């Protein structure tokens, strides 16, 4: 076999074909051609690296390239455009008014107070909770207990959450939702929290 390359770049066996069968139309074998070639000629395309399209490079979020290339940066969680759940009673200033407090009366942070807002207030060690008791390792990380303020009845309730540890109200175990009254003491882990209402029979937002 004696291979030869014609002036168009085709390789063919010269012992079988005196001239290039592709250029003379003697072969039906298609060869590659560049996309967008409307001339109808079948020949191998050779693309240089300089002609190849460049792949986009990654850029840090705060890079000026984002604004130059009109790439939107990430959106913060507190943006009004996200689908974040908000309390029903948020006022026109975007504030969910305080409804009451839990005050640490026994534990590592005795005297520290925690605000109670409308709807459900989750209690746990993680800062994702509404009431974060991060100084007591015996409290569940997420939702060990739930204090709820019901806007319609203007009442407060305590119930056990998804945590493993038991919770107590005035030294009695909480197995079902129980109504809270002023000076009630809630025990979560090794921390005792006294309940005080702000919304009551004489005031309501």
Q: What is residue 67's predicted lDDT score, i.e. its pLDDT?
A: 47
Give the global pTM: 0.56
- The verdict on residue 190 lying in a domain is yes
Which three-class secondary structure state does DSSP give residue 114? Answer: strand
- The verdict on residue 68 lying in a domain is no
Same domain, yes or no: 109 and 184:
yes
Same domain, yes or no: 45 and 134:
no
Same domain, yes or no: 40 and 110:
no
β-bridge partners, 103 = 113, 194
- The verdict on residue 62 lying in a domain is no
Query: Residue ranges of the chain with pLDDT lower than 70?
Result: 1, 25-93
Same domain, yes or no: 193 and 115:
yes
First vs last Cα of the chain: how many Å apart? 97
Same domain, yes or no: 111 and 193:
yes
Q: What is residue 94's predicted lDDT score, i.e. its pLDDT?
A: 73
- The verdict on residue 74 lying in a domain is no
Domain with 5, as residue range(s), is 1-51
- The verdict on residue 20 lying in a domain is yes
- The verdict on residue 95 lying in a domain is no
Q: What is residue 204's predicted lDDT score, i.e. its pLDDT?
A: 87
Identify the CA nearest to 194 among candidates 186, 65, 43: 186
Residues 167, 133: Cα–Cα separation, whole Å? 14
- The verdict on residue 88 lying in a domain is no
- The verdict on residue 32 lying in a domain is yes
Q: Domains in the chain: how many in total?
A: 2
Q: What is the CATH number of the domain that holds 193?
A: 2.60.200.20
Q: What is residue 66's predicted lDDT score, i.e. its pLDDT?
A: 47
Q: What is residue 157's predicted lDDT score, i.e. its pLDDT?
A: 98
Q: What is residue 20's predicted lDDT score, i.e. its pLDDT?
A: 84
Same domain, yes or no: 37 and 124:
no
């Amino acid at each position: 076999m004696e291979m030869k390359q014609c002036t168009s770049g085709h390789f063919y066996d010269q012992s079988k074909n005196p001239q290039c069968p592709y250029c003379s139309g003697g072969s039906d074998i298609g060869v590659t051609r560049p996309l967008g070639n409307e001339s109808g000629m079948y020949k191998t395309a050779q693309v240089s690296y300089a002609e190849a399209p460049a792949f986009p490079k990654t850029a840090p979020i705060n890079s000026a390239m984002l604004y130059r290339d009109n790439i939107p940066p990430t959106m913060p969680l507190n943006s009004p455009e996200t689908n974040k759940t908000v309390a029903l009673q948020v006022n026109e200033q975007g504030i969910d008014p305080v409804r009451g407090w839990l005050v640490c009366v026994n534990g590592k942070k005795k005297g520290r107070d925690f605000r109670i807002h409308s709807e459900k207030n989750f209690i746990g060690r993680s800062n994702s909770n509404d009431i974060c008791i991060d100084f007591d390792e015996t409290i569940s990380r997420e939702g060990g207990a739930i204090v709820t303020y019901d806007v319609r009845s203007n009442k407060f309730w305590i119930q056990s959450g998804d945590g493993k540890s038991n919770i107590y109200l005035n030294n009695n175990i909480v197995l079902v939702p129980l109504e809270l009254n002023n000076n009630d003491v809630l025990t979560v882990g090794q921390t005792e929290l006294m309940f005080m209402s702000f919304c009551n029979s004489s005031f309501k937002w």
